[in-house]
């Protein structure tokens, strides 16, 4: 037993270190050596925490944290890195990938020729003979084409046997990689399945000077703004990913398309996130209290039926809701019209569009809130109620003085989490209103139901240069900072950190 | 459990395997509709050369994003079947091979608009196979003869609109569907120049465009178009027999047939004697520039992808307006294909440059403001165009 | 007395029925779309004129049952492993005081607020490289997808579970420790059995969360035979207009069944009397 107690932590920490080394290597590959190293240090630190008797509780935590580090923190780090680059449409390849691709580009020299070819093999080795359009057959020797015969490919050549036509293409993987250098910088390469052709390499990269030479025009192309650029300013596509420093942040701050509607969008976002979270949890708690009644008949069936909205993937229910709430032919308006003679302009007027968002998100969200509240209600010891009953407290007094306070401490952090989730609830906004109706007094892409994240992603992904991941990453970081600040502030105010509730 | 997992992880460290594109074998990504036809159509090539061709089904909306994420890592397919408006983005990302190897006599077989659509900065980057454009789809039981002019459209639609029946509806806040109103009297998205499109010359707020959009607004004044109508409502009303006419595309025909609606397809009506010109979308094959199989692909593209036989094979499972003239003639006995083909013949290729992004969103907003009566056409359009230019210029800096 | 109670319950039933109507209003229209021939998602009549079961019979051809199988593999595994990892960590956070506790908790809270959309590219690259060394955790594998879900669900659930553990009196554990149990045994034999409600809640939330996610899954999975339910379903509407709404609605109705069944099976654990009985002692 004691042996086990000493061996177990050692074994455990060794495993963690091994996993750490492995993932550090991978992360080093993806994000750069520094991040790999940092990740290794973190796992190494974890393994120390496991070994040290005083930090014993970490043995319970490390597996979860390790998973989290790999699949959650690492993507965040990656996003932060992207924010300082121009990654996006036109700039998705690395510089070395672009150079590799450009160096593959060729042009046809004036004396270009297409040659038919025949393959000859001798054991594992192969040779190629070429035939030009006038029937001359050449071998390639010492960077030169040497005429050997005319008209027909010989069946044997320098001890090599010809590969019959029907078997020719089984060598295709080999053939594709053949490249015969000739004099004057040109070379012969497979151009299609039946021909070799004469090419010249167009672009040559000179690492010492970090320039690309265009052999066709004899221009020097220098890397500038994520492109290799000709002296006349013309950019060579594709561009490459490049570090741009704070440029994305500056672009956001300076852009009047962002600053003009910012305050409005921001206020609505807060209102939305707080409002929908409170609404969902109030309704969820209310239903949970109803369902928690032992004497209620059919409560099992009710509970199951009420979680159905949760069981249908949100993207389909949202599409259904869009149809139901249609102003002209939607079912909801037709019912309202036949009952009260009114038609509500659901997605046409700001106020109604917002009401629709709250209602639909309530539909989507209350089953979750109800389930969580049901679970949390179980954690309240029964004897508290019993003693309250003895003291003659009414149901509502019990609710106010026992249920709500205890429940809030349990689900308080979840409220913050749900608030954050709705703060960034791109899906609901995007699928239900897509931010519409548009603001009519300011000219901007922002709609009146756009929240911060949906609006700024519009800028990044529907902006003037395709998909601007660099900008989107920058936005993610800024939104993250905003929401984290709000949440920490919330937490600090409500004193949740100091709380260590125990009932004894 | 966990320990077993971890130990097996370590053991597996030793047996490493690499994924990645396969040299000597062609991989094609296409959406569901073309899988069967393509598998059939490549058989002769496979027999002739003994080179394998694998056709993978990837959903249409996923092909472009997955290609963009996977192609740079070398994980991508050799060929994708895609829409021409992806072209600009893929080309500036350096992911497409220019199609400069097709002989002129092959290229001459294609309808010119399809080649234009598949070109970027004057270079061809895709082999077109089909095209599509919206037309006027009408319910023959409600409207025996489709209107050919704007005025008769108004008259017919107006007399039909009552008692839960609608004369004419479509997804008007979607710029794609409303573009014919812009184009009829001279509106255009980007000015065409010999070097491709000029993204800073936008003709969506010129005199013709404004006049055209006023004709659209007039449909609201006449009580024909209703507030809040979108694509969903249009199609479901039509398939329930409650809508006389709509602007829609060939993709919807299958649903209409299933709903047993007696339908017809006609060209969009003329405004002041000028045709309403819809956007033309072109589908075709694009080749991964980072493929290890470029030489094979050139032969494959010439012998298979650009062939009449392939288009006809694909038509069998997925009827579309074919891009090759000689193939189109064969299939144009189908009245729907013929009608949509006639509409496409009037059309303009949808711009394929990345600058189209802001056009969709700003014009969508402008149309919403115009059709809900919050702004006059000339004001909203001029503002939108100014914003589009602003967005494009900011991105260029 | 008893009669009185029954009468008191009538308003409760009425309120619940109002919510049931609210809940099933859109569901009814989804069912309607699933038996309607023709285009469009939301029709004009709840009971369509042309009724067809074709959409349901189409499901076999589009690989629906394979999606469900994949989804169940992913969701069940994720749910079980999440409960395992999270309950361990939450136990430590709830019952120990140790170095780094406060800041770890704060980190957990803040981490979950990061907008996830950008992380997708990173996840893709990570799995791509991972797959080079451990093929079964690479791109296009269900196990790789499970790992990603596991990592993402941890912070929120630790908080959720910790809140519940906090309310279990320390005295119960202490008495076990005095009897000579190790801390791990105390966790395993005392805390876990008392916590079935919250374990079930976490299991259900992660099950449903993974079952209906398509964002991550569609990035990781390439091969249609590996598609999960949500990815497969999403494919129907990923084309711009060319959408088979009927099949889509039929699939979403049938696809919701596993979740309903799962909930039916676990709901009694959520409101089990176990806790109360034990705490009373």
Q: Is residue C64 within 8 angstroms of chain A, CB to CB?
A: no
Domain-ending residue, one of A38, A68, A83: A83
**Shortest CA distance to C39 belongs to which of C246, C237, C238?**
C246
Gap from C208 CA to chain A (nearest CA, Å): 7
Report yes or no: A382 and C278 within 8 Å, Cβ to Cβ: no
Rg of the Cα atoms in chain C: 23
Q: Do A137 and A16 reside in the same domain of the chain?
A: no
Interface of C with A in 218-277 (CB under 8 A): 229-230, 233-234, 237, 248-249, 252, 255-257, 259-260, 263-264, 267-268, 270-272, 275-276
Contact B258 C121 (CB under 8 A): no
Nearest chain A residue to C230, by CA:
A313
C-chain residue closest to A419, CA distance: C113
* Chain A 325-354, residues with CB within 8 Å of chain B CB atoms: 326-330, 345-348
Please name which of A418, A401, A407, A399 lies closest in space to residue A375, comparing C-alpha atoms.
A407
Instruction: End-to-end CA distance of chain A: give it in Å, rounded.
Output: 34
Which residues of chain A are within 8 Å of residue B66 when distances are taken between CB atoms?
none
| CB-nearest partner of A464 from B296, B372, B395 | B395
Mean pLDDT of chain C: 83
* Inter-chain residue contact C119 with A319, CB threshold 8 Å: no
Number of Cβ within 10 Å of residue A282's Cβ equals 13
504 residues of chain A, pLDDT tens digit each: 567 777 888 899 999 999 889 888 888 877 778 888 988 999 999 999 888 888 888 999 999 999 888 888 888 888 888 889 988 888 888 898 889 888 888 887 777 788 989 888 888 788 888 998 888 898 888 888 888 888 788 888 888 888 887 777 877 878 888 888 888 788 888 888 888 888 888 899 999 999 999 988 899 999 988 899 999 888 887 889 899 999 889 988 887 777 888 889 999 999 999 999 999 999 999 999 888 877 788 888 898 889 888 888 787 788 889 888 888 778 888 889 889 988 898 888 899 999 999 999 999 999 989 988 988 888 777 777 888 888 888 888 888 888 888 888 777 778 888 888 899 888 889 888 888 888 877 767 788 999 988 887 777 776 655 678 888 888 888 888 988 888 888 777 666 555 444 433
Residue pair C77/C60 in contact (Cβ under 8 Å)? The answer is no
Residue among A78, A290, A383 whose CB faces C122 most closely: A78
| Residues above pLDDT 70, as percent of chain C | 89
Contacts of B97 (CB under 8 A, 6+ apart): B125, B287, B288, B289, B291, B294, B297
Q: What total of structural domains would you count in chain A?
A: 3
Residue A396 pLDDT: 84
- Determine the distance in angstroms separating the CA of B102 from the nearest CA of chain C, rounded to an integer: 30
Measured between CB atoms, which of A56, A295, A312 is closest to C9? A295
Domain carrying residue A168: 106-201
Helix residue ranges, H only, A424-504: 426-432, 452-461, 469-494
CATH number of the domain where residue A259 is located: 1.10.3720.10
Asked whether residue A245 is domain-assigned, the answer is: no
Gap between the Cα atoms of A314 and C214, Å rounded:
10
Half-sphere exposure of C18 (CA within 13 A, CB side): 7
Determine the pLDDT at residue C277: 37
Residues 19-48 of C with CB under 8 A from A: 19-20, 22-27, 29-30, 33, 40-42, 44, 46
The DSSP secondary structure of A307-374, one letter per residue, reads THHHHS-HHHHHHHHHHHT-TTT-HHHHHHHHHHS----TTTSHHHHHHHHHHHHHHHHHHHHHHHHH
- Residue B214 pLDDT class (50, 70, 90 cuts): very high
What are the tokens at C205?
Answer: 């939330």
CB contact under 8 A, B61 and C124: no
Give me the CATH number covering residue A190. 2.40.430.10
What are the residues facing A162 on neighbouring strands? A120
Q: Domain for residue A99, yes or no?
A: no
The set of chains that have 3 or more CB pairs under 8 A with A is B, C
Q: Are C207 and C166 in contact (CB under 8 A)?
A: no
Per-residue pLDDT at C241: 61
Chain C residue at shortest CA distance from A477 = C114
**C-beta atoms of A329 and B292 within 8 A:** no
In B, minimum Cα distance to A331 occurs at: B233
Query: Do residues A75 and A111 share a domain?
Result: no
Residues of C in contact with B242 (CB under 8 A): 44
- Which residues of C are less than 8 Å from B17 in CB distance? 132, 135
pTM of the model: 0.81
Q: A262 and A403: one domain?
A: yes
The answer to whether C267 and A300 have CB atoms below 8 angstroms apart is: yes
Residue A1: per-residue pLDDT? 53
Q: Are A273 and A415 in the same domain?
A: yes
Chain mean position to CA A462: 17
A490 occurs within a structural domain: yes
Same domain, A319 and A405: yes
Contacts within 8 Å (CB) and 24+ apart, B37-46 = B37/B313, B37/B314, B37/B315, B37/B316, B37/B317, B37/B318, B38/B81, B38/B310, B38/B313, B38/B314, B40/B313, B41/B304, B41/B309, B41/B310, B41/B313, B41/B314, B42/B304, B44/B304, B45/B300, B45/B303, B45/B304
Does the N-terminal peptide bond of residue B227 adopt cis geometry, omega within 30 degrees of 0? Answer: no
Size of interface B-C (CB pairs under 8 A): 111
| Structure confidence by residue, pLDDT tens digits, C220-236 | 887 778 889 988 887 77
pLDDT digits (tens, 9 = 90+) for C161-187: 888 888 788 888 888 888 888 888 888
B1: confidence class by pLDDT, cuts 50, 70, 90: very low
Q: Mark which of A201, A236, A271 sits at the end of a domain.
A: A201
What is the rounded CA–CA span in Å between residue B375 and residue B275? 27
Beta-carbon neighbour count of residue A449 at 10 Å?
A: 25
Query: Both A396 and A487 in a single domain?
Result: yes
Q: What is the structure's pLDDT at B22?
A: 64
Asked if B69 lies within 8 A of C121 by C-beta distance, the reply is yes
DSSP percent split of chain A into helix, strand, coil, nearest 5:
60, 15, 25
Tell which residue, C117, B89, B397, has the closest CA to residue A251: B397
Residues A124 and A44 occupy one common structural domain? no
Residues A429 and A297 both lie in one domain: yes
Give residue-wise pLDDT tens across range B126-184.
Answer: 999 999 999 999 999 999 999 999 999 999 999 999 988 999 999 999 999 999 999 99
Do A466 and A420 lie in one domain? The reply is yes
Residues B12-59: tens digit of each pLDDT: 333 322 233 467 889 999 988 889 999 999 999 999 888 899 998 887
Residue in the block written with tokens 């061709």 = B53
The span from the CA of A481 to the CA of A460, in Å, is 18
Return mean pLDDT, chain B. Answer: 89
3-class SS of residue A398: helix
Whether residue A225 is contained in a domain is answered as no
The single-letter DSSP state of residue A399 is I
State ipTM: 0.86
Cβ burial of B3 (10 Å; 0-12, 13-18, 19+) is exposed
Q: Give bridge partners of residue B123 from the DSSP assignment.
A: B120
Which domains can be identified in chain C, with CATH numbers? Answer: 2-51 (no CATH), 63-238 (1.10.3720.10)
Q: Do A324 and C26 touch (CB under 8 A)?
A: yes
* CB contact (8 A) between residue A79 and residue C113: no
A466 at interface of B, judged by CB pairs closer than 8 A: yes
Nearest to A443 among B9, B92, B387 (CB): B387
Residue A261 placed within a domain? yes
Distance from CA of C232 to the nearest CA of B (A): 9
Same domain, A334 and A475: yes
Domain membership of residue A243 (yes or no) is no
C173: distance to nearest CA of chain A, Å?
13
What gap in Å lies between CA A31 and CA A38, rounded to an integer?
11
Among C26, C254, C20, C182, which residue's Cα sits nearest to residue A319? C26
Same structural domain for residues A364 and A307?
yes
B377 burial class (0-12, 13-18, 19+ CB within 10 angstroms)? buried
* Residue of B9, B31, B255 with shortest CB distance to C39: B255
Picking from A433, A452, A481, the residue whose alpha carbon sits closest to that of residue A83 is: A481
Structure confidence at residue B275 (pLDDT): 95
The alpha carbon of residue B233 is apart from the nearest alpha carbon of chain C, in Å, by 7
Q: Are residues A6 and A124 in the same domain?
A: no
Answer yes or no: is A95 within a domain: no
Angle formed at CA B153 by CA B151 and CA B156, multiple of 5 degrees: 110
């Amino acid at each position: 037993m004691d042996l086990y107690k000493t061996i177990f932590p050692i074994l455990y920490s060794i495993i963690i270190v091994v996993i750490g080394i492995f993932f550090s290597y991978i992360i080093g590959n993806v994000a750069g050596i520094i991040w790999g190293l940092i990740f290794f240090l973190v796992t190494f630190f974890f393994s120390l925490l496991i070994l040290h008797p005083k930090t014993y509780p970490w043995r319970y935590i490390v597996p979860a944290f390790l998973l989290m580090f790999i699949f959650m923190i690492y993507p965040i780090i990656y996003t932060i890195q992207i924010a300082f680059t121009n990654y996006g449409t036109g700039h998705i390849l690395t510089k070395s990938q672009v150079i590799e691709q450009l160096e593959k580009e060729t042009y046809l020299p004036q004396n270009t020729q297409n040659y038919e070819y025949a393959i000859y093999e001798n054991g594992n080795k192969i040779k190629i003979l070429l035939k030009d359009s006038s029937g001359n057959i050449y071998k390639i020797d010492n960077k030169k084409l040497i005429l050997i015969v005319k008209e027909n490919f010989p069946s044997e050549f320098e001890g090599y046997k010809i590969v019959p036509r029907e078997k020719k293409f089984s060598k295709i993987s080999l053939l594709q990689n053949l490249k015969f250098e000739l004099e004057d910088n040109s070379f012969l390469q497979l151009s299609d399945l039946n021909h070799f052709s004469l090419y010249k390499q167009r672009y040559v990269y000179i690492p010492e000077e970090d320039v690309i030479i265009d052999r066709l025009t004899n221009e020097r192309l220098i890397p500038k703004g994520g492109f290799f650029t000709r002296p006349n300013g013309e950019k060579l596509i594709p561009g490459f990913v490049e570090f741009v420093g704070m440029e994305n942040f500056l672009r956001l701050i300076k852009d009047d398309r962002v600053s003009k509607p910012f305050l409005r969008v921001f206020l609505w976002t807060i209102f939305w996130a707080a409002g929908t979270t409170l609404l969902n949890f109030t309704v969820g708690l209310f239903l949970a209290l109803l369902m928690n009644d032992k004497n209620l008949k059919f409560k099992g069936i009710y509970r199951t039926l009420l979680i159905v909205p949760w069981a249908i993937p949100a993207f389909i229910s949202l599409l259904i809701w869009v149809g139901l709430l249609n102003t002209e032919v939607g079912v909801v308006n037709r019912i309202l019209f036949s009952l009260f003679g009114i038609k509500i302009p659901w997605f046409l007027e700001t106020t109604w569009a917002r009401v629709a968002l709250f209602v639909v998100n309530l539909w989507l969200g209350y089953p979750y809130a109800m389930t969580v509240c049901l679970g949390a209600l179980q954690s309240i010891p029964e004897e508290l109620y019993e003693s309250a009953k003895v003291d003659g407290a009414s149901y509502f007094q019990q609710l106010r003085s026992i249920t709500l306070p205890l429940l809030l401490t349990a689900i308080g952090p979840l409220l913050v989490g749900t608030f954050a989730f709705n703060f960034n609830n791109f899906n609901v906004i995007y699928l239900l209103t897509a931010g519409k109706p548009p603001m009519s007094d300011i000219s901007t892409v922002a709609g009146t139901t756009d929240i911060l994240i949906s609006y700024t992603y519009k800028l990044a992904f529907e902006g003037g240069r395709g998909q601007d991941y660099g900008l989107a990453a920058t936005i993610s970081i800024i939104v993250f900072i905003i929401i984290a600040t709000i949440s920490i502030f919330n937490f600090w105010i409500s004193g949740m950190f100091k709380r260590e509730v125990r009932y004894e | 459990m966990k320990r077993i997992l971890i130990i097996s992880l370590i053991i597996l460290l030793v047996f490493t395997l690499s994924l990645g594109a396969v040299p000597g074998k062609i991989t094609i990504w296409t959406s569901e509709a073309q899988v069967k036809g393509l598998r059939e159509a490549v058989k002769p090539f496979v027999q002739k050369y003994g080179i394998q061709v694998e056709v993978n089904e990837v959903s249409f909306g996923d092909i472009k994003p997955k290609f963009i994420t996977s192609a740079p890592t070398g994980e991508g397919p050799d060929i994708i079947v895609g829409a021409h408006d992806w072209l600009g983005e893929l080309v500036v990302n350096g992911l497409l091979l220019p199609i400069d190897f097709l002989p002129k006599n092959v290229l001459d077989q294609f309808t010119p608009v399809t080649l234009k659509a598949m070109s970027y900065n004057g270079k061809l980057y895709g082999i077109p196979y089909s095209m599509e454009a919206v037309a006027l789809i009408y319910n023959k039981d409600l409207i025996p003869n489709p209107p050919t002019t704007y005025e008769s459209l108004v008259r017919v639609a107006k007399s039909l609109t009552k008692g839960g029946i609608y004369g004419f509806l479509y997804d008007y806040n979607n710029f794609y569907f409303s573009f014919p109103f812009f184009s009829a009297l001279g509106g255009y998205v980007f000015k065409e120049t010999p070097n491709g499109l000029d993204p800073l010359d936008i003709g969506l707020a010129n005199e013709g465009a404004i006049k055209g959009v006023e004709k659209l607004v007039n449909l609201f004044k006449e009580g024909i178009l209703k507030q809040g109508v979108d694509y969903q409502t249009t199609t479901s009303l039509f398939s329930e027999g409650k809508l006389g006419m709509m602007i829609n595309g060939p993709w919807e025909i299958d649903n209409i047939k299933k709903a047993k609606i007696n339908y017809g397809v006609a060209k969009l009506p003329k405004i002041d004697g000028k045709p309403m010109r819809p956007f033309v979308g072109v589908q075709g094959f694009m080749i991964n520039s980072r493929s290890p199989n470029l030489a094979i692909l050139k032969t494959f593209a010439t012998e298979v992808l650009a062939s009449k036989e392939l288009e006809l094979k694909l038509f069998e499972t997925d009827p579309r307006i074919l891009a090759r003239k000689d193939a189109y003639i064969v299939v144009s006995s189908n009245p729907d294909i013929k009608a949509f083909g006639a509409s496409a013949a009037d059309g303009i290729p949808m711009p394929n440059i990345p600058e189209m992004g802001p056009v969709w969103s700003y014009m969508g907003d402008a149309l919403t403001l115009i059709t809900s009566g919050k702004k006059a056409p000339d004001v909203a359009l001029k503002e939108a165009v100014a914003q589009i230019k602003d967005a494009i210029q900011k991105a260029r800096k | 007395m008893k009669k009185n109670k029954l009468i008191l319950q009538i308003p409760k039933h009425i309120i619940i029925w109002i919510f049931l109507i609210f809940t099933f209003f859109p569901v009814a229209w989804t069912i309607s779309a699933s038996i309607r021939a023709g285009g469009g998602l939301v029709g004009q009549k709840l009971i369509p004129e042309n009724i067809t079961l074709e959409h349901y019979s189409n499901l076999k051809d589009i690989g629906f049952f394979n999606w469900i199988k994949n989804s169940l593999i992913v969701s069940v595994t994720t749910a079980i492993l999440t409960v395992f990892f999270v309950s361990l960590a939450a136990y430590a956070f709830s019952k120990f005081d140790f170095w780094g506790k406060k800041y770890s908790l704060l980190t957990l809270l803040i981490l979950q607020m990061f907008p996830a959309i950008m992380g997708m590219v990173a996840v893709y690259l990570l799995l791509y490289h991972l797959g080079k060394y451990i093929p079964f955790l690479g791109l296009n594998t269900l196990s790789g997808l499970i790992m990603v879900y596991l990592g993402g669900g941890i912070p929120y659930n630790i908080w959720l579970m910790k809140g519940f553990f906090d309310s279990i009196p320390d005295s119960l554990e202490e008495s076990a420790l005095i009897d000579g149990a190790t801390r791990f045994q105390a966790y395993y034999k005392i805390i876990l059995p008392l916590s079935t409600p919250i374990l079930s809640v976490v299991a259900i939330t992660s099950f449903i969360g993974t079952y209906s996610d398509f964002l991550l899954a569609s990035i990781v999975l390439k091969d249609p035979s590996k598609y999960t339910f949500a990815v497969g379903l999403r494919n129907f509407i990923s084309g711009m207009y060319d959408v088979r709404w009927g099949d889509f609605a039929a699939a979403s109705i049938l696809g919701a069944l596993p979740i309903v069944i799962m909930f039916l099976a676990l709901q009694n654990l959520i409101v089990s009397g176990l806790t109360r009985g034990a705490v009373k002692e």
